[in-house]
Amino acid sequence: MSTNVNRIDRAFAALAASGKKGLLPYVTAGLPDLDTTEQILEGLATAGATAVELGFPYSDPIADGPTIQTSFTRVLERGIHVKDILAMVARFRQRCAMPLLGMLSYTIVYRRGVERFIAESAEAGLDGLIVPDLPLEEAAEISEAMSRAGLCLVMLVSPTTPPDRRRQIAELSRGFVYYMSVTGITGERDRLPPELVDNVRALRRIAGRPVVVGFGISTADHVRMVCTEADGAIIGSALVRRIMAATDAGAKAEDVVRTAVEAVCEWMTGLP
């Protein structure tokens, strides 16, 4: 196992030491192009994002709502591949230490080869992977392989996950546990479930590591509500929508980046 402390662990340890909570934006890799994605990552790091989830486009999304599916289609039509995304990550990593997690379908990992993909991810500078469709039965072996490479495997818990299964997922997760505020697909929502805070509190008692909440979060008030108990919040569709809207309006790259950074700064006002 790697003797280096993972950047995700360091980031959450720093938050805990200062009594703060984190915001983890989601960005589709290659939207609107890889150069602009890289600039967005740099802007979000400067703005103080705890980490960024980098979505790897896939033609058959597992839990992604229409906004992120549309972003995937746009990127895939440009002919951007996994190797191109990892090359961008490597360039970014030369200049910035903000934690990055790849969020992707297990099909991408499997087709490339599990050991190969883990090695390439670590070499490029990713700090962890979120693989929503990874079967729990295969997670132990992959979590161990990732730990040896110095990577965190972040696993998801939904509101309907049975208690025993929650414990298994929490034990296998590294870095943090990803709690889905709602079942179903990603996307912006007007309201979050009233039982969300209680569910997160219960999960934190058994997890033994940070719990971060995603799915449906799209406002500073949502972030404020979630972070009364969770260690951080994830915003995806709302950010991707703004990036696409700026691009569709003909904005230059620097203006697209500014749009993304301003949105994240707005949502960060909800952090305790």
pLDDT in tens, 97-153: 999 999 999 999 999 999 999 999 999 999 999 999 999 999 999 999 999 999 999
User: Could you tell me how many helices (H) and strands (E) the chain has, helices first?
Assistant: 12, 9
| Phi, psi dihedrals of residue 247, rounded to the nearest 5° | -65, -45
Q: Give the Cα separation of 236 and 222 in Å (integer).
A: 13
141 tagged catalytic: no
CA dihedral (113, 114, 119, 125) positive or negative = positive
pLDDT in tens, 186-210: 444 455 667 888 899 999 999 999 9
64 tagged catalytic: yes
Active-site choice (38, 64, 120, 231):
64
What is the rounded average pLDDT for all residues in the chain? 92
pLDDT in tens, 205-221: 999 999 999 988 999 99
Active-site choice (9, 53, 120, 229):
53
Q: Give the Cα separation of 199 and 177 in Å (integer).
A: 13
Give me the mean pLDDT over the 64-78 stretch.
Answer: 89
Contact 86, 125 (CB under 8 A): no
pLDDT in tens, 4-34: 679 999 999 999 999 999 999 999 999 999 9
Is residue 174 pLDDT above 50, yes or no? yes
For residue 91, the SS3 value is: helix
pTM, 2 dp = 0.93
Q: What is the CATH number of domain 7-268?
A: 3.20.20.70
Tokens standing for residue 68: 């992120």
Question: Token pair 């979000």 is at which residue?
Answer: 44
